[in-house]
């Protein structure tokens, strides 16, 4: 296990809660950022981050060091977010609230408002496309790393990023913004497009 967290993981697997607490401290910000991008709500992000670490503690014995611990933890978090179905009505109200907040009330658009518009557009993407964008754009993973986290092929990740970027541009343009979506590393997903069901 060639990983900076290796010793702490080994101690956690032996049942040492203090070692796992240190792992939580190391990765808390990373996981919270991911869950916020996926949920769009600070309260839900907190819940999802907490659920991620609870699941990780329960499943730590299944981690065998085939990848970095942080990659494994990302996968636990993404699965928690993708399984987040009970809050569908919550999500609807969140979108309604976000739309109200985006109603122009001043003559200028602040940086915070632009970020909010992007976040609102992210929430309108299918969950798997959103996860691909969050991992590759906001968390800086390459497509191979994101594929490992999401449990799919690199081609599928490329297509999801390609489709998500196209939808984001359309959503932001429809919202009357001239802002650009986050830059994606040039790939050629359309050349080997997987079935649409992979979105």
Q: What domains are defined for the chain?
A: 6-82 (1.10.1740.10), 113-198 (1.10.10.10)
Q: Work out the average pLDDT over 56-80.
A: 91
pLDDT per position as a tens digit, 169-191: 888 888 754 344 444 444 444 44
pLDDT at position 85 is 53
Residue of 161 and 105 predicted with greater confidence: 161
HEC-encoded secondary structure of the chain? CCCCCHHHHHHHHCCCHHHHHHHHHHHHHHHHHHHHHHHCCHHHHHHHHHHHHHHHHHHHHHCCCCCCHHHHHHHHHHHHHHCCCCCHHHHHHHHHHHHHHHCCCCCCCCHHHHHHHHHHHHHCCCHHHHHHHHHHHHCCCCHHHHHHHHCCCHHHHHHHHHHHHHHHHHHHHHCCCCCCCCCCCCCCHHHHCCCHHHC
Rounded Cα distance, 66 and 43, in Å: 33
pLDDT at position 191 is 40
pLDDT per position as a tens digit, 95-136: 555 445 444 444 455 667 777 888 888 889 999 999 998 898
Q: Is the pLDDT of residue 69 over 60?
A: yes
Rounded Cα distance, 116 and 98, in Å: 8
Among 40, 199, 31, 38, smallest CA distance to 117 is for: 40
pLDDT band at residue 139 under the 50/70/90 scheme: confident
Among 141, 131, 176, 102, smallest CA distance to 37 is for: 131
Q: Backbone phi, then psi, for 53, in 5-degree steps?
A: -70, -35
pLDDT at position 21 is 92
To 5 degrees, how large is the angle CA 53–CA 56–CA 60? 145
pLDDT at position 25 is 93
- For 104, the token pair is 């122009």
CB 133 within 8 A of CB 167: no
pTM above 0.75, yes or no: no
CB 195 within 8 A of CB 157: no
């Amino acid at each position: 296990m060639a990983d900076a967290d290796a010793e702490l993981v080994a101690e956690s697997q032996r049942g040492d809660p203090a070692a796992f607490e240190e792992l939580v401290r190391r990765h808390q910000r990373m996981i919270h950022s991911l869950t916020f991008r996926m949920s769009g709500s600070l309260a839900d992000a907190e819940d999802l981050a907490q659920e991620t670490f609870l699941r990780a503690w329960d499943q730590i014995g299944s981690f065998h060091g085939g990848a970095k611990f942080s990659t494994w933890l990302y996968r636990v978090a993404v699965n928690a977010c993708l399984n987040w179905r009970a809050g569908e009505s919550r999500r609807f109200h969140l979108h309604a609230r976000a739309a109200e907040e985006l109603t122009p009330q001043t003559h200028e658009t602040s940086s915070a408002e632009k970020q909010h518009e992007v976040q609102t557009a992210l929430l309108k993407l299918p969950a798997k496309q959103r996860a691909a964008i969050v991992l590759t754009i906001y968390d800086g993973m390459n497509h191979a790393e994101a594929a490992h986290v999401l449990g799919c092929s690199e081609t599928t990740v490329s297509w999801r990023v390609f489709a998500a970027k196209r939808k984001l541009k359309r959503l932001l343009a429809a919202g009357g913004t001239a802002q650009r979506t986050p830059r994606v590393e040039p790939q050629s997903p359309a050349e080997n497009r997987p079935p649409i069901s992979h979105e």
